[in-house]
Amino acid sequence: MINAQNLSKVYRINVKKSGLKGALGNLFHAEWVEKVAVEDLSFQMKEGSALACIGENGAGKSTLIKMMIGILTPTAGQIRVFGEEPRKAGNSYLRRIGVVFGQKTNLWTDIPVIESYQAVKTLYKLDEKIFRQNYDRVVELLELQPLLSVPARKLSLGQRMRADIGMVFLHSPELLFLDEPTIGLDINVKHTIRTFLRQMNQETGTGIFLTSHDLDDIDEICDDAIVLSGGRLIYDGTLEQLKHRFVQDKMIQVVGRQEGDIQSLLPLSRISVEGRVWKIVYPVREYSSAEVLAAVSGCFAIEDITIGEPDIDEVVSRIFAGEGMP
Amino acid sequence: MRTFWKLTAISIQGQLYYRTSFFINLLTPLALLGGQYLLWAALYEQQGGAAIGGMERREMFAYILFAFAMSNLLNWAGENRLSREIKTGQVAARCVRPAAFLTQYLAEMTGALFLQGIVNLLVVLAGFLCFGRYMTVPSVSALPAFILCLVLAVALRLMMIDVFSLLCFFTTGYLGISWTRAALFDFFSGAMIPVVLFPGWLKAVACYTPFPYMLQAPVAVLLGQDTLVGLPAVYGLQTVWILIFLGLHGLIYGLARRNLTIAGG
């Protein structure tokens, strides 16, 4: 579905000198530097999958999306989506994809939402039956009925984003590009949008390429991830593998009676106890889960046991702190 | 064409939904027309009613009425919509719609000038009904030539605004570009002063720019005045300038797509 090979994008940035003297100097002499936004990036995305693009601010996520939708031209390398070069593919390509920018709207702001939806029907040359089917579905799942007669400029941010996400599904896109779709939204709207996107991905097979700083978005919507840092790809794989690669500790919580000395079996672990609840935090590089479970079952008469899953927040903070990267 | 007309309809709807803004945009430029009338009336008074630069008072009053109707076809907000979108990055939404960038722009602008065109036509008709005896009345036989010239003039003006707007991809000072465009248009098109009143050298300069063919030429054709270069040449130059701006559109838009940094990434 997406195939990027050695993709790079370099911007020319006008450097402004500081101070009044510098400002005057800028009038007569412009200084330009090249800023690498994306560097030698190669990755693939399978049809119908949901891929997260993780990266700090300025990592090149938005630039990457804009190259994939054909707005920007790569400086070097090649990108193909559905086997076509987005920049040259034209309207037939745009009819197969959908794009949502979290900080911008695709709705026509001066007219009611329903009019924007009707315009989509014309622009995408949609069959009435398909349009109606998609329309009914998004209106129901995103609870859009009360918003349809309101001009987009009068909607709150959350309402507008729901309307935007609804609109992007009207033409049955095969692939959706979402650039921080839940930015600035409250928890309820975020939940509605995530649930909807996940459902559409699973039921209709719409591929999703998502950039977000909200790690819950990534966790709930995506299965795979790529991580960018300074425009370079530093991880490409499943979200699960990413979590395991960057999580240094795991925790097992045991409820039960102690029958042996767990510390002697797992000397590098940290153990705390509160009543009958034991928390064992162990370094994953030192002990495998099987070893820990064997030790725990030998030392406790277990009534209940919980294995703590690593949190994506922890993963990302470790990535950006530069831990565990080659 | 369905896409074009749908976008035109959206543009018209967008104007109609905001009543106060709609009426303010439509009617406030009438103050400008009043000012123009008073200015020229005072000048002719000073001349004791004699012709100024070869233009009789009746001709001048008809000219300022038609020049007003032509120059006021687009308001400031409509003219600068694309510039603003480029500055804010909202233009990205336009780029991902399955319709040519230029088609979207022309459709929206057609919608924007459609309503204003109707109102301006009513203003012109009302002006002639009330004050026709003080003005040169256009000949019906001039209408076919005028309509063709008008269509080309409007297309040329839209393309000129488009090209100036696209320059905003390369600078953050979109207002500077807009004001430059407005100043060039107002001066060289004859919207403020008829080009025939310019000194010879300035008139010659004006003829080498596209601006007189956006306003002065169609008004002159309608009123039977001097078109500076002859009617066939007017049509030819209008067409050539449209083609030049189309070429510039392709060039600048292509450059922008290669080098562009849209706000936010």
- Give residue-wise pLDDT tens across range B200-222: 999 999 999 999 999 999 999 99
For residue B254, the Cα-to-chain-centroid distance in whole angstroms is: 26
- CA nearest neighbour of A100 among A43, A183, A223, A215: A183
- As a whole number, mean pLDDT of residues A135-143 equals 91
pLDDT in tens, A51-98: 999 888 888 888 899 999 998 889 999 999 999 999 888 889 999 999
Residue position matching structure tokens 């600035």 = A184
Residue type, B175: L
Q: In the β-sheet with A76-81, what is the strand arrangement from edge to edge?
A: A31-45, A2-15, A76-81
- As a whole number, mean pLDDT of residues A124-134 equals 93
**Chain A 129-148, CB below 8 Å of chain B: which residues?**
none
The three-class DSSP label of residue B136 is coil
- Per-residue pLDDT band at B165 (split at 50, 70, 90): very high
What is the C-alpha separation between A93 and A39, in angstroms, rounded? 25
- As a whole number, mean pLDDT of residues B164-183 equals 88
Burial A150-181 (b: 16+ CB within 10 A, else e): ebbeebeebbbbbbbbbbbbbbbbbbbbbbbb
Phi/psi-derived region of residue A19, left when phi > 0, alpha when psi is between -120 and 50, beta in every other case: left
pLDDT value for B265: 43
For residue B73, the Cα-to-chain-centroid distance in whole angstroms is: 6
Mean pLDDT of chain A: 86
Instruction: Look at A91 and B98 and tell me if their CB atoms are within 8 Å.
Output: yes
Is pLDDT of A309 > 70?
no
Residue type, B160: M
- Per-residue pLDDT band at B264 (split at 50, 70, 90): very low
pLDDT value for A11: 83
pLDDT value for A306: 82
Calculate what percentage of chain B has a pLDDT beyond 90: 49
Tell me which residue in B10, B18, B265 faces A119 most closely, judged by beta carbons: B10
Q: Is B14 an 8 Å CB contact of chain A?
A: yes
- CA nearest neighbour of A99 among A70, A125, A132: A70
> Torsions phi, psi of B248, nearest 5?
-65, -35
- Per-residue pLDDT band at A311 (split at 50, 70, 90): low
Residue position matching structure tokens 């099987």 = A290
Q: Is A246 an 8 Å CB contact of chain B?
A: no
Token reading at A245: 């690669």
Contacts of A103 in chain B (CB under 8 A): 89, 264
pLDDT value for B92: 87
What is the C-alpha separation between A12 and A8, in angstroms, rounded? 13
- As a whole number, mean pLDDT of residues B237-242 equals 97
Element (H, E) at B106: helix B101-131
Q: Is B265 an 8 Å CB contact of chain A?
A: yes
Residue type, B27: L
pLDDT in tens, B95-143: 899 999 999 999 999 998 898 898 889 989 988 888 888 888 888 899 9
Q: Is B3 an 8 Å CB contact of chain A?
A: yes
Nearest CA in chain B to A150: B17
Instruction: Look at A72 and B98 and tell me if their CB atoms are within 8 Å.
Output: no
The three-class DSSP label of residue B141 is helix
Q: Is B77 an 8 Å CB contact of chain A?
A: no
Calculate what percentage of chain A has a pLDDT beyond 70: 94
- Per-residue pLDDT band at B263 (split at 50, 70, 90): very low
Between the alpha carbon of residue B35 and those of residues A210, B38, B68, the distances in Å are: 57, 5, 11
Q: Is A183 an 8 Å CB contact of chain B?
A: no
Token reading at B146: 């005028």
Contacts of B265 in chain A (CB under 8 A): 37, 60-63, 65-66, 179
Contacts of A110 in chain B (CB under 8 A): 13-15, 17-18
Instruction: Express the helix, strand and coil content of chain A in percent, nearest 5 each.
Output: 40, 30, 30
Tell me which residue in B14, B100, B262 faces A108 most closely, judged by beta carbons: B14
**Chain A 249-288, CB below 8 Å of chain B: which residues?**
none
Averaging pLDDT over each range in A158-167, A182-191, A212-221, which range is the top one? A158-167
pLDDT in tens, B20-60: 877 777 777 788 888 889 999 999 999 888 888 888 899 99
For residue A178, the Cα-to-chain-centroid distance in whole angstroms is: 8
- As a whole number, mean pLDDT of residues B168-195 equals 89
The residue of A10, A68, A71, A160 whose CB has the most chain B CBs within 10 angstroms, and thus the best one to mutate to test that interface, is A71
Token reading at A262: 């767990």
Cβ neighbours for B189, distance < 8 A, ≥ 6 positions apart: B71, B195, B211, B212, B214, B215, B216
- Give the pTM: 0.81
pLDDT value for A209: 95
- Angle, to 10 degrees, between the axis of helix B101-131 and the axis of helix B81-88? 150
pLDDT value for A310: 57
More confident residue, A299 or A251: A299
Instruction: Look at B265 and A119 and tell me if their CB atoms are within 8 Å.
Output: no
Contacts of B7 in chain A (CB under 8 A): 119
Q: Is A117 an 8 Å CB contact of chain B?
A: no
- Per-residue pLDDT band at A164 (split at 50, 70, 90): very high
Q: Is A106 an 8 Å CB contact of chain B?
A: yes
pLDDT value for A13: 77
- Per-residue pLDDT band at A314 (split at 50, 70, 90): low
B166: closest CA of chain A, how far (Å): 15
Mean pLDDT of chain B: 89
A93: closest CA of chain B, how far (Å): 8
Is pLDDT of A289 > 90?
no
pLDDT in tens, B5-22: 999 999 998 888 877 877
What is the C-alpha separation between B5 and B2, in angstroms, rounded? 5
Instruction: Look at A106 and B258 and tell me if their CB atoms are within 8 Å.
Output: no
Cβ neighbours for A260, distance < 8 A, ≥ 6 positions apart: A298, A299, A300
DSSP A65-118: HHHHTTSS--SEEEEEETTB-HHHHTHHHHTTEEEEETTS--S-TTSBHHHHHH
- Angle, to 10 degrees, between the axis of helix B101-131 and the axis of helix B2-16? 50
Phi/psi-derived region of residue A58, left when phi > 0, alpha when psi is between -120 and 50, beta in every other case: left
- Angle, to 10 degrees, between the axis of helix B216-223 and the axis of helix B143-166? 170
**Chain B 205-264, CB below 8 Å of chain A: which residues?**
257-262, 264
Give the number of A-B residue pairs with CB atoms closer than 8 Å. Answer: 83
Nearest CA in chain B to A111: B14
3-state secondary structure B49-99: CCCECCECHHHHHHHHHHHHHHHCCCCHHHHCHHHHHHHHCCHHHHHCCCC
